[in-house]
């Protein structure tokens, strides 16, 4: 049987003993929410079939149901290798939207809330004496409540505007993993460009006795550094010096292999394979510095949607191709918009050299309601800690376009607290508090501007480019925001030009501004809008909306099925013009 998405879901945290649970599962939509009363938690066949990890809204799942599904159930059985019984067995979920419970052999093993972060349950006690593990998952998902973050998933029966098909239930890989009684948990790698030293902080889980934690670092398969230390609880710190370190950058994405090895006095051993890149990303006045040199961020908006899998890419190669065609058009990175992307995508960003802004899918959560705050804090913390080691991530954006009706002190305090929480979790990356309009406290000042007339667009920032004065910076919500304080300035959404020649009279499709009369006219507008930002001496980056169409929003440079609308060369030439702020 072919397993969909068979690759290991975490190349940055990989053990050898694992079982991919993607493929056929039993499935049932529980519209009356009576599954528990009906005995679905164990020993009860479900009526439908679904292909995991594709959400039931997508064609690839085999379901294709687009109506609201407030409650769904999953069930399957799997053999757990007998050799695993001397250790612990973990059940991993890449992501489940939105609130889920799991039972193994009828035993409750855990509960999780949040549609974007990863989580796992220790199911050892539930499978210790069993030949097979019966896994049952219940999911509740109703994005109409205002209590859950759901990004751009539609809260109406159908897609509309910039809100698209919903996603319910399991939408990333599910897998089992064997670990020893004491094992490696979360770890943080902190490579330092100046010293050439990689420092690692490792969280240890289980019931440890004495042991040794070691690290081996390799380059192109050859070991170049090794270090070890006595085990400390709950976290162990160690470091290794890297001779003549090669720096990671979009043009030369150098990566180092890393293996963490835990050897306990009783003979138990844990081993995790990972990797890291060495690079610096700093802010100096109005400039962004990558590896010590001024860098203009040439980014594109990527919303992470797919025609047949919705949130879930049909293959690992599809993730890779999205990055490759973006780079071919001259973009060096992307704003991962209103969705937390899966670790396999971030892996390819690391391998291919692609700068990304990590963002939370905060839309849908009404943050003026304090009842949403705990779930946002918990999930965003899980996201940052999971993805913190990827060199491709250069900034964090927990919120997007939070403005009208949300300017009370309670909300301002919440935005500020999330900003400071993010800095505390990851002090190495800048944070944009809420992208686009209103800022409460931010490391980078950004705006969204969909003006289509290049001359008018240029005039919005021309005087600011000359003076750098806060009073000369055009901002939609300037009176609601903290004043500009001289930090780097980027236009993190612009363009979005409507171009849909295959369906010019489609009333549902939309984009920004008056549609160009031809592909040539589009490219000319694109070039002029883009050059207005590249030529501005106080602008440190842009993010064009968007890489590909998403359903009715047809302002992409590619169609929804990833076919270029324009000559790739023409877009690359526009993006490759030298930026004024990159001058030394």
Asked if residue 341 and residue 205 are part of one domain, the reply reads no
Assess if residue 446 is contained within a domain. Answer: yes
Asked if residue 354 and residue 259 are part of one domain, the reply reads no
Asked if residue 292 and residue 248 are part of one domain, the reply reads no
Among 342, 334, 446, residue whose Cα is nearest residue 394: 334
> 């919005």: which residue's tokens?
460
Residue 152 confidence class, pLDDT cut points 50, 70, 90 = very high
For the chain, the domain total comes to 3
The 10s digit of each residue's pLDDT in 159-195 is 999 999 999 999 999 999 999 999 999 999 999 988 8
CA neighbours closer than 13 Å in the CB half-sphere of residue 64: 5
Contact 127, 105 (CB under 8 A): yes
Assess if residue 338 is contained within a domain. Answer: yes
CA neighbours closer than 13 Å in the CB half-sphere of residue 294: 17
* Among 276, 292, 323, residue at a domain's last position: 276
316-328 vs 343-352: helix crossing angle, rounded to 10: 40
Residue 498 confidence class, pLDDT cut points 50, 70, 90 = very high
> Per-residue pLDDT for 37 more than 70?
yes
For position 584, what pLDDT does the model report? 60
The 10s digit of each residue's pLDDT in 65-116 is 999 999 999 999 999 999 998 899 999 999 999 999 999 999 999 999 999 9
> Per-residue pLDDT for 276 more than 80?
yes
Domain that holds residue 92: 23-172
Among 336, 332, 233, 328, residue whose Cα is nearest residue 288: 332
Read off the CATH number of the domain in which 387 is found: 3.20.20.80
Q: In what order do the strands lie in the sheet with 393-397?
A: 393-397, 355-359, 333-336, 297-302, 541-545, 489-495, 445-449
Give this prediction's pTM.
Answer: 0.97
The mean per-residue pLDDT over the stretch 206-212 comes to 86
- Between CA 485 and CA 483 the distance in angstroms is 6
> Per-residue pLDDT for 121 more than 70?
yes
Asked if residue 147 and residue 287 are part of one domain, the reply reads no
Asked if residue 257 and residue 165 are part of one domain, the reply reads no
Read off the CATH number of the domain in which 201 is found: 2.60.40.10
Asked if residue 389 and residue 447 are part of one domain, the reply reads yes
Which burial class, exposed, middle or buried, applies to 569 when counting CB atoms under 10 A from its CB (0-12, 13-18, 19+)?
exposed
Assess if residue 13 is contained within a domain. Answer: no
Contact 73, 56 (CB under 8 A): no
Residue 130 confidence class, pLDDT cut points 50, 70, 90 = confident
Asked if residue 310 and residue 225 are part of one domain, the reply reads no
| Alpha carbon distances (Å) from 453 to 111, 140, 500, 513, 566 | 51, 45, 19, 9, 20
Average pLDDT, the chain: 95
Assess if residue 4 is contained within a domain. Answer: no
> 């609130």: which residue's tokens?
99
Asked if residue 386 and residue 263 are part of one domain, the reply reads no
- Between CA 416 and CA 438 the distance in angstroms is 12
Asked if residue 191 and residue 82 are part of one domain, the reply reads no
Q: Which two tokens stand for residue 184?
A: 């490696």
Q: Which two tokens stand for residue 135?
A: 């896994």
> Per-residue pLDDT for 406 more than 60?
no
Distance of CA 108 to the CA centre of its chain: 29
For position 410, what pLDDT does the model report? 85
- Between CA 55 and CA 73 the distance in angstroms is 12
The 10s digit of each residue's pLDDT in 277-299 is 999 999 999 999 999 999 999 99
Q: Which two tokens stand for residue 130?
A: 């069993």
For position 493, what pLDDT does the model report? 98
* Among 223, 256, 276, residue at a domain's last position: 276
Q: Which two tokens stand for residue 213?
A: 């934690």
Of all residues in the chain, the percent with pLDDT exceeding 70 is 98
Asked if residue 244 and residue 131 are part of one domain, the reply reads no
Contact 58, 309 (CB under 8 A): yes
Residue 502 confidence class, pLDDT cut points 50, 70, 90 = confident
> Per-residue pLDDT for 1 more than 70?
no
For position 387, what pLDDT does the model report? 98
> Per-residue pLDDT for 436 more than 80?
yes
For position 503, what pLDDT does the model report? 62
Asked if residue 364 and residue 263 are part of one domain, the reply reads no
Cβ contacts of 457 within 8 Å, gap of 6 or more: 449, 451, 494, 529, 532
Among 419, 439, 448, residue whose Cα is nearest residue 431: 419
User: CA-based angle 381:386:392, to the nearest 5?
Assistant: 110
For position 35, what pLDDT does the model report? 97
Asked if residue 294 and residue 271 are part of one domain, the reply reads no
The 10s digit of each residue's pLDDT in 327-382 is 999 999 999 999 999 999 999 999 999 999 999 999 999 999 999 999 999 999 99
């Amino acid at each position: 049987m072919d397993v969909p998405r068979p690759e290991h879901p975490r190349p940055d945290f990989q053990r050898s003993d694992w079982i991919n649970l993607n493929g056929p599962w039993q499935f049932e939509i529980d519209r009356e929410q009576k599954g528990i009363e009906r005995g679905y938690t164990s020993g009860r066949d479900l009526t439908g079939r679904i292909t995991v990890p594709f959400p039931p809204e997508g064609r690839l799942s085999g379901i294709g149901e687009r109506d609201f599904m407030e409650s769904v159930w999953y069930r399957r059985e799997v053999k757990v290798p007998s050799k695993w019984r001397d250790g612990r067995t973990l059940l991993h979920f890449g992501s489940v939207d939105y609130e889920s419970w799991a039972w193994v052999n009828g035993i409750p093993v855990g509960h999780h809330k949040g549609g974007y972060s990863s989580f796992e349950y220790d199911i050892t006690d539930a499978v210790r004496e069993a030949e097979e593990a019966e896994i049952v998952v219940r999911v509740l998902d109703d994005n109409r409540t205002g209590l859950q973050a759901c990004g751009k998933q539609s809260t109406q029966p159908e897609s509309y505007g910039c809100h698209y098909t919903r996603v319910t239930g399991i939408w990333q890989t599910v897998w089992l993993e064997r670990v020893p009684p004491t094992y490696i948990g979360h770890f943080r790698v902190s490579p330092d460009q100046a010293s050439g030293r990689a420092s690692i902080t490792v969280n240890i889980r289980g019931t440890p006795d004495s042991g040794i934690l070691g690290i081996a670092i390799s380059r192109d398969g050859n070991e170049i550094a090794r270090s070890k230390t006595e085990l400390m609880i709950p976290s162990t710190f160690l470091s290794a010096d890297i001779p003549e370190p090669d720096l990671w950058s979009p043009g030369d994405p150098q990566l180092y292999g890393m293996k963490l090895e835990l050897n306990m006095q009783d003979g138990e051993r844990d081993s995790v394979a990972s990797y890291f890149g060495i690079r610096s990303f700093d802010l100096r006045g109005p400039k962004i510095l990558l590896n010590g040199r001024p860098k203009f961020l040439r980014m594109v908006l990527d919303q992470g949607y797919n025609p047949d899998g919705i949130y879930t890419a049909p293959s690992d190669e599809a993730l890779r191709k999205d990055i490759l065609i973006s780079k071919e058009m001259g973009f060096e990175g992307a704003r991962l918009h209103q969705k937390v992307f899966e670790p396999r995508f971030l892996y390819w960003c690391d391998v291919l050299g692609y700068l990304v802004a990590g963002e939370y899918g905060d839309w849908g959560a009404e943050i003026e309601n304090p009842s949403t705050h705990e779930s946002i804090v918990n999930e965003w913390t899980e996201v940052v800690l999971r993805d913190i080691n990827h060199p491709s991530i250069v900034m964090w954006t927990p919120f997007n376009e939070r403005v009208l009706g949300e300017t009370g002190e309670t909300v301002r305090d919440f935005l500020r607290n999330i900003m400071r929480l993010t800095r505390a979790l990851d002090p190495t990356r800048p944070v944009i508090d809420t992208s686009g309009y209103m800022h409460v406290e931010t490391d980078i000042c950004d705006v969204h501007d969909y003006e289509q007339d290049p001359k008018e667009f240029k005039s919005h920032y021309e005087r600011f480019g000359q003076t750098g004065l806060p009073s000369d910076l055009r901002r939609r919500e300037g009176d609601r925001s903290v004043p500009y304080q001289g930090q780097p300035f980027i236009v993190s959404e612009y363009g979005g030009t409507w171009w849909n020649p295959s369906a010019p009279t489609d009333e549902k499709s939309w984009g920004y501004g008056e549609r160009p009369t031809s592909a040539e006219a589009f490219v000319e507008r694109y070039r002029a809008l883009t050059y207005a930002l590249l030529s501005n001496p106080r602008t440190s980056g842009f993010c064009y909306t968007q890489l590909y169409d998403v359903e009715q929003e047809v302002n992409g440079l590619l169609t929804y099925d990833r076919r270029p609308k324009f000559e790739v060369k023409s877009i690359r030439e526009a993006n490759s013009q030298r930026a004024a702020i990159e001058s030394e």
